[in-house]
Structures are given as structure tokens and as C-alpha cells.
Structure 1
């Protein structure tokens, strides 16, 4: 039985003033679905929040200081559900405390250096590190990859995606483009961002408009449009030499196909929408199975780092006004890039 702890329970789910999507609740439901995991400890700066969470999901003990929890509870698995600027110090503390697996919310961190440091420390300590890119387990996305692998659109040539921003939502879409292209590494990135109307998401500044273009080593090209450029606002398109797959037309029609076998779009019934909460549980069940078997988890830190590199390479390309060849050797947070007039 794996002993599980959660850092960052947050305010009671969907209560007044609560921000985000209550991700700790999703994690708790995932562990409850795992027959070999037991939630033993919770940590939150606000003990009232932790106790409210405990009433709903269980947990034998609550702590205000997560380091005290790590020192006392001999945890096997820890979920980190805090804002990105806290991820690195918490992941590293878990690794140093001997935690066997850490499951952290995305995005990885506000800087590429922090993201790389988390991965390096966990590799050195033997800690399995995962990040919650849970859409890898979504039925529309898996069905799209199955169609692609079956040759429904011929040979994959390019992929396009749209979303609100590169950092918070874009980490999902960058990750999914790697997923569709069988984790093929990227060779180069060229991009531009505009920050004249910056937003702040979970304490991190993100662009008001952006474009990231990149090429994978197998010749497939990718492009992500964000903010004011992103019309429609949330979609992925996979272009082959014999057709097109589209994910995200609507939650009711999350997957459709165009190719020579029909005269128009074919809606593909997959049984769930784009944002099914079951994906969080599937991610946790997968990381526990990976911990037992020694295989790489589907949402491994190695894969998350590939997506994170594209975020910061796009920022660096915008700063330099030129193409960035990977691997990325600099670290430029968005806040250092001057807004264009």
C-alpha cells in the first residue's frame, strides 16, 4: 500500500474566491480509485482549507508546513497542486526526503532552469517525476492518434493548434503535438510574442498574443497560435497528404475526420469530451503502475520538459528575433521581454 500525501489543497472546491480548477480534488479522486494507494497526509498553509479537504477526501493527518509532513510521514507518493513558482522547491524537497514518486501540476515552472533542475534532482535520487498533462489519456486525443497511425490521413505533414497562451494552456497543446508525432524531438523553433496587454495566470505573466512555429526531426512542422491570434480559440488540426483530423470543434463534437472515404466531415464518436475529469484518475493509475513496473509513465518529466522547452524557446526567439536551434541553452522568462508598441 503506497502512502500518499498532497501538498496544496486550496480553498474548498468552487467556493467564493477559489481560483483554478480544484486540481487537488482531482488528484484525491485518482488515489481513491487506486486499490494500492492510501491518502495519509495533507499540507496547506491554511489549516482550515486542509481540514475541509480532509472531510471530503480523507487523509489521516494535516500539516501547515509541507516539509514537516515529508519528515514525519514516510510518504511513497506526493502530489503537488500549488502555483508554478513553488513547484521546483517542493519537488526537490520531496526527492531529498526519499519520496518514490512525485506527481506535480503543470506548467512545470516559471523558468526553464527550474524545470531542468527538478528533472535532474529526481533523476539523481531515483524519484519518479510526472506532470499532469492528463489529456494524453483523453478519448478524443487517443482516438485521433489511432486514426493517424492507421493511415486515415496518409502521412502526417504538419500540425496546428490554438489556445489562450503558451505557458498555462500551451503546455498541454505542445505536449499533445509530441504525443501525436510519437515523441519525436524538435530541431528548431521560431516565434514572436506580444505583451502589450499581459495577463497573469497563477502568478506568472503570459503573452496577449503569440505564434510559435517549429520543426520535428522527422520533417513534420508544428504551429501554435495564442491569444488574439487563436481563432478558433481551442483546437488542434493534424494535416496529412490524404486528409485532415480535427480535435476540439466543440465538446459535443470533439473529433472529426476529413479524407477521401467520404464527401465531407465525418464526426467520430468517442464517448467523452475534451475535458473529461476521468483523465486525471487515469494519469494517477498510470503513474502508480509505472512505479510498480519500472517503466516510463505516460506523463513523465522527460516528456513534460520537451513541451516546456518549446515555451521558453519561443520566448527566446521573440527576444532575439530569430530562429532558435534546440537544445535551448538560455533561460529567458517572459517578464524580461519588452512589449512591442
Structure 2
């Protein structure tokens, strides 16, 4: 009988509340404690989600030998110190994206987790979608011939409960690029099994971003094997569907309503043979991510998105931000590249 993984939630977040708690429990995990800097928030969160303990002192929680792993979903600027503290306490770390706010910080997280012998995963949930796994398999099977172009439509309306620091606090890592574009980059890296090498981006501040934070962006990414990808990401578009298109020499794949946390969407393959729906067996993205993380803790494979995945996707996102600021094409740092 496998011993269940005992978790500490670091951050009383919306994503933990809506998705991760259910996923951890569905995979046999035990949520032992929630940690928040706000004692009342921690107490209310624990009561709502039937979590036995709540705390404000992370170090005290990490000193508990019964805790096996931490899930970090605090604001982005806290990821580095919290992940390092957890790793040095011998706890496995599943951290929300972006892994950190700088390449050096993300690299430090990877190094310390490796030194301490703990698993580091990045919670890039979109690569866990059945639709995106099916797209990856279609490309591997030659379903569209040689891939040439990709387009991602990920312009949405950011719900009021998720705004706050995302649109108001640059120091916390807010803005559309580190919130949405980094997901698109990771999704394309996974599907194409390739790495970005050059980017160009232009941002907009429509009606939501403040303090210089962008709430919309149009981007172009060149991948190492030649694919050009176009991204449209925004916080301010309430009625557009999301989607992902892949175009190759022998066909095109159209994935509709797939850039979402929910297990939904459909894929159509269009080629010389006509149109064909690609069958997909939908399941919780977060269940899959937790299952892979639990397996990695047990020494069976790797997390769905590793620390290095988080690092590589962050590098490209930071390059997009640099391009938008400078108005120039930017080469993506190749460290940890394939």
C-alpha cells in the first residue's frame, strides 16, 4: 500500500481553492496545512476546504517531518524564497508559474532542489490537457507533415477575483506576459518538442493594467526547428474563444476552446482527405499534474512540467517582455536548451 503524500499549501489562493485541493485529494494526497501571511485568510481558507491546520509561519510548517511536499501558489515574487526554504527543509516543491521573476532566480531554485535531492515541478497546467497531449501525438505521428506555423488565441477577460496584483503590482510579477504568455510558450514548447530562439512582441494597456503593466500583447516566436508562432494574449477580451492552430505541409490542426483550466475543447484535422475530428478523452488537467508529481516523488518519471521546463518557458517570456520594452527582436537565452 502506497503511503499518501502529505502536502502544505503555501498561499491561500484561488487556484488552490478551485482546482488543486480537489486534484491532490483525488490522487490520494493529504492536505495537512495551509500557510498564508494573513492569519484570517488562512483560517477562513482552512475552514472552507476542511483543512485541519492553518499557519502564518512557513518555517514552522517546514520543520514538521510529516510534510512531504509543498504547493506554492503565492504571488510571484515570493516563489524563490519559499521554494528555497522548502527544498532546504527536504520538501518536494510544486510551484506555480512563472517559476520566478528572473532567470537567475529560477536557475537557483533548480540548483538547490537538485542539491537537496527533492523534486521540483512547475505547475504549467495547460500541457496536462488531453487536447494538448493529443496535438503533440498528432505532430509526432506526422499528421500535418512538417510543422510550419502555429497560432495561439488566449485573449480572455480576467475575472475580478484574480485582478489585484496581476494588474496593479509590477514588483509582484504582474502583467499579461508572466500570467498568460508564459503558459502559451510552455504549451508550444511541449507540443512542438522544440525551443524558442527569437521573439518579438508589442504590448498594450487597455482598460485594466495600471502602474505600467500590460494587459494585452501580440507576439511572434521563432522556434529552433523553424516554426513561427503568433500569440494573442489579453486580460481584457470578454467574448473571444480561445484556441490553438498548427499548420504544416500536409495538413492543419484546429484546437478550439483549449486554452483553459477546464477539461474541454475539440480538435479538427484538415488535410487532403477532408476534415476529421480527433477523439479526445477529457480529464482534469490538475489531476494529471498531481498524478505525475506524486509518481516523480516515488521515483517514477518526472513531473509533467519540470523545473527546467519552468525555467525555459520563463526565459522566453522574459524575452517577450524585453522585446516589448525595447521595440527590437530579442534572442532567447539558450541556457538549459536542448
Shared topology, TM-score over 0.5?
A: yes
- Alignment of 1:175 with 2:151, yes or no, is no
**How many angstroms does 1:55 deviate by?**
4.1
Partner of 1:293: 299
Cα 1:22–1:226 change in 2 (3 A) is closer
Structure 2 alignment gaps of length 5 or more: 156-175
- The alpha-carbon deviation at position 133 of structure 1 amounts to 1.1
RMSD: 2.9
Contact 1:212–1:223 (Cα < 8 Å) also in 2: yes
Does the CA-based 8 Å contact 1:313-1:328 persist in structure 2? no
> Which residue of structure 2 aligns with residue 260 of structure 1?
272
Match for residue 147 of structure 1?
138
The verdict on how the C-alpha distance between 1:226 and 1:54 changes in structure 2, with shifts beyond 3 A counting, is closer
Corresponding position of 2:229: 222
Distance change >3 Å, CA 58–CA 253, structure 1 → 2: closer
Distance in 2, Cα, partners of 1:267 & 1:151 = 16
1:213-236 per-residue CA deviation (whole Å, 9 max, x = no partner) reads 222222222222233998955221
Q: TM-score, normalised by structure 1?
A: 0.79
Query: 1:188·1:214 contact (CA, 8 Å) conserved in 2?
Result: yes
Kindly provide the CA deviation profile for residues 118-174 of structure 1, in whole angstroms up to 9, marking residues without a partner as x.
223323322211121122221211222222222221111121212233221222211
Q: Output the CA distance in 1 between the equivalents of 2:222 and 2:86.
A: 36
Shift of 1:307: 1.4
Q: Aligned with 1:98: secondary structure? A: coil
Please name the residue that 1:311 is paired with: 317
Distance 1:57 1:135 in 2: 24
- Correspondence for 1:68: 60
- What SS does the corresponding residue of 2:178 show, helix, strand or coil? coil
Matched, 1:123 2:129: no
**Which shifted more, 233-242 or 204-213?**
204-213
TM-score by length of 2: 0.80
For the 8 Å contact 2:87–2:113, the answer to whether it is kept is yes
Could you tell me which residue of structure 1 aligns to residue 214 of structure 2?
207
Report the secondary structure of 1:167's partner residue: helix
Shift of 1:255: 1.7
Of 227, 242, 249, the residue aligned with 1:241 is: 249
Classify the secondary structure of the residue corresponding to 1:179: helix
Unmatched 5+ stretches in structure 1: 11-20, 330-341
| Aligned residue in 2 for 1:6 | 9
- Following superposition, the deviation at residue 205 of structure 1 comes to 6.2
SS at match of 2:293: helix
Structure 2 SS opposite 1:72:
coil
> Is the contact made by 1:139 and 1:271 (CA closer than 8 Å) also made in structure 2?
yes
Q: Output the CA distance in 2 between the equivalents of 1:22 and 1:229.
A: 20
Q: Distance in 1 between matches of 2:65 and 2:51?
A: 12
- Tell whether the 8 Å contact from 1:9 to 1:25 is kept in structure 2 after alignment: no
Report the CA distance shift for 1:121/1:138 in structure 2 as closer, same or farther (over 3 A). same
| Counterpart-to-counterpart distance in 1, 2:212 and 2:16 | 21
Total equivalences in the alignment: 307
Of 79, 89, 93 in structure 2, the residue corresponding to residue 97 of structure 1 is 89
Could you say which residue in structure 2 is the equivalent of 1:14? none
Distance 1:301 1:24, change over 3 A: farther
Structure 1 residues 94 and 241, CA gap change in structure 2 (3 angstroms): same
C-alpha distance in 2, partners of 1:66/1:282? 27
Question: Which residue is equivalent to 1:321?
Answer: 327
- Label 1:266 to 1:130 Cα distance change in 2 as closer, same or farther (>3 A): same
